[in-house]
Amino acid sequence: MKRIAIALLLVMIATTAQATTIEDMQTGLVTIGDAVTLSGVVVTAARYNGVYVAEAPYGTYQQIWVYTGTDPMAVPGDMVDVAGTYAEYYDLSEVDGGTVSVVGSAVIPAPIVVPAATLVADGEPYESCIISIPDMMTVTAINSYGEWEVTALDGSVMIFDDFWFDDTTVALGDCYSNVTGALTYSYGAFKVEPFVDGITGCPVENESVSFGTMKSLYR
């Protein structure tokens, strides 16, 4: 009887969710399939089937996607507790089957400012982070499945996706001066998910127009 009780206790310990950190998951210190909990993390972005959350001090390796499968009933700025299973969904680190409980509110962390060249060289530290890309960029290709490619002035090429942004408004040659959104990973590539209002167009230069030309416009 004692042996049975000890065995049951070991099973309970093995299956109990472990309190952990996002950084532990993002840097490989948590085993895939482990039950995990996060306490007091901040929602940085939300979608119909999950949320992005961040832990202080909100740097690299400190943000992650929580897949709930249904409306998480949380919005950016909510402080939440999360419980679920650590998973690698096609190499995207996430909390799978997560439950999200709102426990308070907090200031939404500022996006991490990161150049396009840095993301292209190594996007891993910024996976699931809210980022701001300050480069001048041009749309150079329209792909299928709501994706398009942009090229920065230094030649860095990135894939953008329509997680939130309406890809039907995108056209070849569009110029961006700044993009803010989430960095995700799918089908073997890092992709930028711009927010609905996360793309800033390039400034238009003022053209010199003569007084005579102006008069001719109103004849």
pTM exceeding the 0.95 threshold for the entire prediction: no
pLDDT at 65 over 70: yes
77, 43 in Cβ contact below 8 A? yes
pLDDT at 205 over 90: no
Q: What is the third-level CATH fold of 112-201? A: OB fold (Dihydrolipoamide Acetyltransferase, E2P) (2.40.50)
Chain centroid to Cα 130, Å, comes to 5
The predicted pLDDT at position 17 comes to 67
Average model confidence (pLDDT) across the chain? 89
Supply angle C-alpha 51, 194, 96, rounded to 5: 25
Residues across the chain? 219
pLDDT band at 16 (very low <50, low <70, confident <90, very high): low
**pLDDT tens profile 19-48:** 799 999 999 999 999 999 999 999 999 999
Q: Which CATH superfamily, name and number, covers 15-105?
A: Bacterial OB-fold (2.40.50.200)
- Rounded CA-CA distance 38/32 in Å is 16
The residue that leads in pLDDT, 205 or 147, is: 147
119, 158 in Cβ contact below 8 A? yes
% of the chain with per-residue pLDDT over 90: 83
φ and ψ at residue 119, rounded to 5 degrees: -65, -40
- In the chain, which residues fall in CATH 2.40.50.200? 15-105, 112-201
